[in-house]
Amino acid sequence: MVDKVLTANRLTDGVAVWLNANGEWVTSLQESLVARHAEAEAALEAIGKQAYVDNKVVDVNLIDVQETGGKLWPLRLRERIRAEWNMRPAMPRPIRNSLQSEEVPRKSCIVTTNLTTPLSRSELRNSAIRSSGASLASSRRMPSSRCA
């Protein structure tokens, strides 16, 4: 039987968390409680369902792990990425100034073309690379855009 741990995402900030032996949600996989038999897995599932109902976490899952060299390693790539991502320092969130408006003005762009025949997908993709109005052929021109 494969070892399992209970993982989820914290509801307040979306950070990946794991359940530890004290029943707390921690951000380190290495501190998590490992289930090594079916009864322990069932208990972890029940704890995860209750934490979800209590709005503590979302996306609760039991994941497969293996212990190698005294460290826990998730077997799935998705879970490895989640575990490694938590080791990165958190990026600061932008601070909103009370004087700033809630609405941020966005640029509106108008794309115009002067084509005699429709563009193919590759020509549309290349249009983003080429400068506005570059010729494809004598009778075709790339779309141009104006942003306000």
pLDDT tens by residue, 130-144 = 544 444 444 444 555
Residue 1 pLDDT exceeds 70: no
Q: Mean per-residue pLDDT for 79-104? A: 64
CA dist., res. 51 & res. 10, Å (int): 10
Total-model pTM: 0.57
CB atoms within 10 A of CB 64: 14
Report the percentage of the chain scoring pLDDT > 90: 39
The stretch 74-84 carries a mean pLDDT of 86
Output 7 or 115, whichever has higher pLDDT.
Answer: 7
Burial of residue 119 (number of CB atoms within 10 Å: 0-12, 13-18, 19+) = middle
- Average pLDDT over every residue of 33-44: 94
Interacting residues of 55 by C-beta distance below 8 A, sequence separation 6+ = 11
pLDDT of residue 85: 75
Rounded to an integer, the average pLDDT of 38-66 is 94
Provide the mean pLDDT of the chain.
76
Measure the CA–CA gap between 55 and 24, rounded to whole angstroms. 14
